Structure 1
Amino acid sequence: MKHDYDNLNEGTRSRIRSKRRKTNIILNSLIVVVILLIGIVSFNIFFSNDEGAAGQNDVVAEKDAAAPSGNKDDSKDTDKKNDIKDSDEKDDSAAEDTESEEADEESADDEELAEPIVTEGGSDANVKQTIENPEWKPVGTTQSGEHNTVFDQNAVDWQEMILAYSYATGIDKNNMTVWFNGNGGAPNTAVGTISEKGSDQTFRVWIQWVDGQGWKPVKVEELIENDKR
């Protein structure tokens, strides 16, 4: 009986040990599986982060690569604008040059028109030559209302006549000797005999009144000798 009991106990212990071994194997297997799962998950997370960082780096790199292109485009636009501006400035300069040339041509034409017409002789035998200029203009006036010719040295009308004589001959009124100033043979006309102080060259100047504008030279006769001395 005792032998049978010992055998029974031995069998029981064997089964317990066997179960423990199986349990340990299962637990160890589970631990290994868990460790593997943890490793796989950690690897996936780490690898995913690396890919995300790499993707961001790629995006940044693409933006950086695109930025110079944008700068180049901006530079091209700026160059185009500068080219257009330079072209406009050249056009403006060319237009100004053309206008200047036209103005010079007009000025030259005016000078040609302003050339006096000189003819030999004149209204009498004492006239050396007669000078006329279609570009002569009235000298202006401070008078208003109906004009009356006044041959008085203190009158405004007289002083404006002297201005007309000076304008026609180029002799300064302050350096002029007036030998005669009288009626020109018709209303609102006058004729003066003048010379530059200290000079024997004498001129007979014919002028005509223009309402609101003053006295205007008509012709200048250079005299052979001063017939009013």
Structure 2
Amino acid sequence: MKNDFDNLNEGARSRTRAKRRKTNLILNTLIVVVILLIVFVSVNIFFSNDEGAADNSNATAENEKGAASSDKQDNKDNNGSKNADEDKNGEKAEQSDEGSADDSESAEPEDNEDLGDPVVTEGGSDANVKQTIENPGWQPVGTTQSGEHAPVFDQNSVDWQEMTLAYSYATGIDKNNMTVWWNENNGAPNTAVGTVSAKGSEQTYRVAIEWVEGQGWKPVKVEELIQNDKR
């Protein structure tokens, strides 16, 4: 009877141990699964952070690159606009210079080389004339005046300046290096006569000119004087 009881206790203990081992196995398995899950989640979080940082870094780099490219393009556009403005300003300045040159040239006579041979005769209108020079090729010197013309013998007038240009043209003396000793009417409407010489020179000329309507003053004759009678 006792042996049967012992056998029953032994069987109960065996079942309890088996159940305990099974429980421990389940618990250990769960622990391993939990640890694996923790590791898996940690790895995912770690790599996700790295990828996010890398993406942010790449995005920042791309943005900086784009900004640099944009700035470079803006600078290029600004330089292009500046160069275009400078070119336009240069063209305007050049056109202005050309216009000024054209205006100046409009009042300048043609080159003396195109005038032909002058006719030179001894003496002239009085005893103080050494020789008289006339040239059929002389042309009007041009004018900026319009409307009805009457000679104006005022040194500050446009008409006076155009008269001195005609004297310079006829004598070959640079108007900026010419002294006008006398300038007056020559006895008829729209005529004038002036006594001129180069600065510092004793050689003096008396120049007769006449007005050509719309074209300016034209030399008629030049008399080379023996001495300056208007000094």
Partner of 1:204: 207
CA deviations on 1:159-212 (whole Å, 9 max, x unpaired) are 44644433332456994321x6224533xx12113123763331314253979x
Q: How do 1:85-124 and structure 2 match up within 5 A? A: 114-117=109-112, 118-119=115-116, 120-121=118-119
> C-alpha separation between the residues in 1 aligned to 2:60 and 2:179?
81
Partner of 1:154: none
Give the 3 Å change call, closer, same or farther, for CA 134–31 of structure 1 in structure 2. farther
Counterpart of 1:23, as a letter, is: T
Q: Which of structures 1 and 2 has the bigger CA Rg?
A: 1
Q: How do 1:168-179 and structure 2 match up within 5 A? A: 168=166, 169=168, 170-171=174-175, 175-178=179-182
Identity, % of aligned positions? 12
Q: How many residues align?
A: 202
Moved more, 18-27 or 128-137: 128-137
> C-alpha separation between the residues in 1 aligned to 2:15 and 2:111?
141
TM-score normalised by structure 2 residue count: 0.55
Task: Give the conservation status (yes or no) of the 8 Å contact 2:191–2:210.
Answer: yes
TM-score normalised by structure 1 residue count: 0.55
Secondary structure of the residue aligned to 2:225 is coil
Give the 3 Å change call, closer, same or farther, for CA 115–195 of structure 1 in structure 2. same
CA shift, 1:36, in A, is 1.3
- Correspondence 1:167 to 2:165: yes
CA deviations on 1:70-105 (whole Å, 9 max, x unpaired) are 7777777777777788888888888858x959x77x
CA shift, 1:57, in A, is 2.9
Give the 3 Å change call, closer, same or farther, for CA 65–78 of structure 1 in structure 2. same
Give the 3 Å change call, closer, same or farther, for CA 174–116 of structure 1 in structure 2. closer
- Correspondence 1:217 to 2:217: yes
Q: Which runs of 5+ in 2 are unaligned?
A: 125-131, 169-173
- Correspondence 1:137 to 2:143: yes
Counterpart of 2:24, as a letter, is: I
Give the 3 Å change call, closer, same or farther, for CA 83–134 of structure 1 in structure 2. farther
CA-based RMSD: 5.3
